[in-house]
Structure 1
């Protein structure tokens, strides 16, 4: 059996949908969806600006990062690299040099279901990273295998290449492209409703009265 499962790059998501998605909050989708959320232990490194992009998926086994170097050559402006570490929690597959390479490619963010390393370097480079902490123990090129642009599991949720991904201070949300338009419209309506409720409460109205005047959408 071939150790490698490699597929073509996905079609980029609609720039308009990504722009609209980036203006929303992952927590808004938490009111409208029950799935698509990475576990809460996948956190941003430092302060972060919300980003949205097209998922490019990668699965790396344990200490091996051979395929990471291959996918680097194919990444595009605005992609979000979603890395499944296949249950490994010891080896950091992203460090300062890889972060610099990703930044130079115009990658919007990287989400790692595991640790990274060189935190100060990553911070100075300015690459948005969501991960599960840090480790000084790093991957290397061992030719063990892996997958590019196949379905993967990141933070307990399934990610397909071409999915829309929203990363912000609250976490990571993954949205299939065929559901994106309807889901984004629903979230935009929800945030407009929340804005009205906040305005009512901020001017001294009781929350219960505000909710009666403007029922949840």
Structure 2
């Protein structure tokens, strides 16, 4: 069995489609799609304004070892979103200020870690957006234990393939298969536009329950009870 499995860099996502998705809040997509949202314990360590979108580049590293995390930063391209599968380890921080700086200089959109980070203040200084499971003072080292780059991984209970669309904002992270991204973007933009129209109607005096249909459902239930 190979100690290191290195897959080919995936095709980068369509810039036009990425721009559309960047105008959408993850919560808008959460109204009609539940698949692909990483566990909410993986959260941003910084303030996030807007939605970041990039191409999934995956790395899987075991326990105390960060050898491949250092190596993958030699192949990360501007526009890539680095997804780190810690293979079940939640004790050792694989990313700190130095690695974050290198990732930022490589052009990474951001990093999502299914585990903790360290040096949060230094990471914030680099400007690299990071989503992770909190912080830890115990760090990984170059132990040469093995791992994989650009293979299917798991992050926050979500399968991630190299080349998937990664969306991230203040509420969390969403992974969308590349062949589903256009459909998701179209539906999300439609719903977001509808929400904007509803705000205008509410400002004009209409009630949310009437617009959403909730008041009609309540009235029907009360009428049924009265007639029963």
Say yes or no: TM over 0.5.
yes
1:48 matched to 2:40? The reply is no
Which of the two has higher C-alpha Rg?
2
1:99 matched to 2:91? The reply is no
User: 8 Å contact 1:197–1:211 — kept in the other structure?
Assistant: no
Give how far 1:204 is off. Answer: 2.7
Tell me the equivalent position of 2:224.
Answer: none
* Mapped partners of 1:203, 1:153: distance in 2: 47
Tell me the equivalent position of 1:157.
Answer: 158
1:24 matched to 2:24? The reply is yes
Gaps of 5+ in 1: 213-217
Give how far 1:110 is off. Answer: 0.3
User: 8 Å contact 1:59–1:146 — kept in the other structure?
Assistant: yes
Tell me the equivalent position of 2:175.
Answer: 174
SS of match in other structure, 2:56: strand
SS of match in other structure, 2:57: strand
* Mapped partners of 2:39, 2:199: distance in 1: 28
1:134 matched to 2:135? The reply is yes
Tell me the equivalent position of 2:210.
Answer: 209
Superposition RMSD on alpha carbons, in Å? Answer: 1.0
Tell me the equivalent position of 2:75.
Answer: 74
1:11 matched to 2:17? The reply is no
* Mapped partners of 1:199, 1:87: distance in 2: 47
* Mapped partners of 2:163, 2:184: distance in 1: 16
Tell me the equivalent position of 1:215.
Answer: none
Gaps of 5+ in 2: 214-228
Give how far 1:151 is off. Answer: 0.5
SS of match in other structure, 2:122: helix
Tell me the equivalent position of 1:186.
Answer: 187
* Mapped partners of 1:197, 1:63: distance in 2: 51
User: Matched residue pairs, number?
Assistant: 212
1:109 matched to 2:127? The reply is no
* Mapped partners of 1:28, 1:209: distance in 2: 20
Spell out, residue by residue over 1:139-195, the C-alpha distance to the aligned partner (whole angstroms, 9 max, x if none). 011111111000000001000000001000111001111111111001100111111
SS of match in other structure, 2:103: helix
Give how far 1:203 is off. Answer: 3.1
Give how far 1:78 is off. Answer: 0.9
Spell out, residue by residue over 1:114-152, the C-alpha distance to the aligned partner (whole angstroms, 9 max, x if none). 000001001111100000100011101111111100000
Spell out, residue by residue over 1:51-70, the C-alpha distance to the aligned partner (whole angstroms, 9 max, x if none). 10000000010100011111
1:145 matched to 2:146? The reply is yes
